[in-house]
Amino acid sequence: MTKPVSMSPVWHPFTQHALESAMKRVLKTEGAYLFDEDGDAVLDAISSWWVITHGHRHPRVMEAIRTACEMYDQIIFAEFTHEPAEQLARGLLAVVPAGLNHVFYSDSGSTCVEVGLKMALGFFHNSGAPRSRIVVMEHSYHGDTIGTMSAGERGVFNAAYEPMLFGVDRLPFPLAGREQDTLDAFETCCRSGEVAALLIEPLVLGAGGMRMYPASVLTELKRIAEKYGSLVIADEVMTGWGRTGTMFACEHADISPDILCTSKGLTGGALPLAATLCTAEIFDAHLSADRSRTFFHSSSYTANPIACAAAVANLEVWKNEPVAERIRELEMMHRQRLKRFELDPRFYNVRQVGTIAALDLNVTASGYLSDAGPKLRAFFRSKNLLIRPLGNVIYLMTPYCVTQEDLGRAYDAIEEAAGIFAVGAQ
């Protein structure tokens, strides 16, 4: 395929450059909006790939970044520590489910899940009773590195890398009325005595199509894991920081995972940072005069001080601003607007958990590679809305500062899109 001479050398993620029109430059961000070079204000209805929680450029977070810049850049995180990392670790332990005691920093969602997997395997290895099976849920997504792809759903996204991927055990997704099948499958896996960990997205499988399942399933999975001495790794990369209505989604199930992974909303979305939290038991299994038991993991940019300072500021926003109320209002706004789609035959699976709303558009060819996704995306962009359906799954996951009016505009556009793209529409 010949390329236009003027083509930018930048290779964008999840982008088929042969089909995509030229990228618009964003000149500024603020609140729930991206302002582009054409002077358009685009409503960021997916929080720039789920990272922005309060809103773009939250003043308190921006101020913390400016202040940190006066003191630090990257600092080696072995032999030295720094105040933002220390403060953040203490702050995190105060807001995550009880039972987590140690904080390991990295720099993306994928890496913090990799770290979680390595912690789990290291735990069993160092305990002298090695286990290496990882159990995941069908349709899950845990990142794009080789390890996290191995754990995630297989398909067109990773077909090329298949020979490199390791095997995991997969549980059927707990469809309504079929929850017991998931639990039974997990118990069967656990009986082998080889399951190191269940790696799971609590309550909602994000990239797998915003599939939601009841908290009680998670509670039961944790109970089964405990019974067989397997660990539970909660991948809260997407669900953390209020998305499901509580600070972390595990709270709905009233469970404390053994390992918790967080990244996207950790800095309010301002800078890349991730943390993997674990129990004292897991840390202690690596604590030894024997150097071979060291946790051998590091990213060069581990615990970047500026990013940590941004995350500390994010914690302050949670403490000092009415974030929980904002989230409750947003939940209500979604509930009200979703209601009208519930009996609409052009949609199915109308669903919501906390601030995440999703519905499937009734189209002839569904699935990620169907034309529905790109067509809908283009339609929404023509209305200055950044909404990226996953195939025929339309979802909204806005920053919490979104107004009723903004959200109304998004829902009106979804309704209009159904009139154009749904089965039977003229």
Ligand X SMILES: *Cc1c(COP(=O)(O)O)cnc(C)c1O
* Binding segment (CB under 6 A) for ligand X, from list 24-32, 127-135, 156-164, 235-243: 235-243
Residue number, 29 or 145, with CB nearest to ligand X: 145
Residue number, 266 or 376, with CB nearest to ligand X: 266
Please state the φ and ψ torsions of residue 195, each to the nearest 5 degrees: -80, 115
Question: Could you count the other beta carbons within 10 Å of the beta carbon of residue 78?
Answer: 7
Among positions 332-371, residues that touch ligand X (CB under 6 A) are none
Site for ligand X contains 257 (CB under 6 A): no
DSSP sequence for 253-317: HT---SEEEE-TTTTTTSS--EEEEE-HHHHHHT-SSSGGGS-----TTTT-HHHHHHHHHHHHH
Closest separation in Å from C-beta 313 to ligand X: 20
DSSP state of 113: H
* Binding segment (CB under 6 A) for ligand X, from list 109-117, 280-288, 291-299, 312-320: 109-117
Torsion of CA 177, 179, 185, 191, to 10 degrees: -130
Site for ligand X contains 110 (CB under 6 A): yes
Of the candidate residues 43, 113, 136, 359, the single one contacting ligand X (CB under 6 A): 113
Residue number, 244 or 362, with CB nearest to ligand X: 244
- What is the size of the binding site for ligand X (CB under 6 A)? 14
Q: What does the angle CA 175 – CA 233 – CA 387 come to, to the nearest 5 degrees?
A: 60
Site for ligand X contains 153 (CB under 6 A): no
Contact present, 133 and 170 (Cβ < 8 Å)? no
Among positions 205-224, residues that touch ligand X (CB under 6 A) are 206-207
DSSP state of 159: G
Burial 99-123, CB ≥16 within 10 A → b, else e: ebbbbbbbbbbbbbbbbbbbbbbbb
Closest separation in Å from C-beta 261 to ligand X: 7
Site for ligand X contains 139 (CB under 6 A): no
> Closest residue to ligand X, Cβ-based?
109
Of the candidate residues 142, 326, 337, 346, the single one contacting ligand X (CB under 6 A): 142
Of the candidate residues 235, 258, 331, 406, the single one contacting ligand X (CB under 6 A): 235
Of the candidate residues 84, 122, 143, 391, the single one contacting ligand X (CB under 6 A): 143
Closest separation in Å from C-beta 140 to ligand X: 8
* SS3 of 390-420: ECCEEEECCCCCCCHHHHHHHHHHHHHHHHH
Closest separation in Å from C-beta 87 to ligand X: 23
Residue number, 84 or 109, with CB nearest to ligand X: 109
Residue number, 220 or 235, with CB nearest to ligand X: 235
Closest separation in Å from C-beta 124 to ligand X: 23
Radius of gyration of the chain (CA): 22
* Binding segment (CB under 6 A) for ligand X, from list 140-148, 175-183, 245-253, 366-374: 140-148
Which own/partner contact pairs does 155-159 have at CB distance under 8 Å and 24+ positions apart? 155/368, 156/368, 156/369, 157/368
Site for ligand X contains 238 (CB under 6 A): yes
* Binding segment (CB under 6 A) for ligand X, from list 117-125, 139-147, 300-308, 393-401: 139-147
Q: How far apart are CA 74 and CA 95, in angstroms?
A: 26
Order of all β-strands in the sheet with 195-200: 102-106, 274-278, 259-262, 231-235, 195-200, 133-137, 169-171
Catalog residues that contact ligand X under the rule CB under 6 A.
108-110, 113, 141-143, 201, 206-207, 235, 237-238, 263
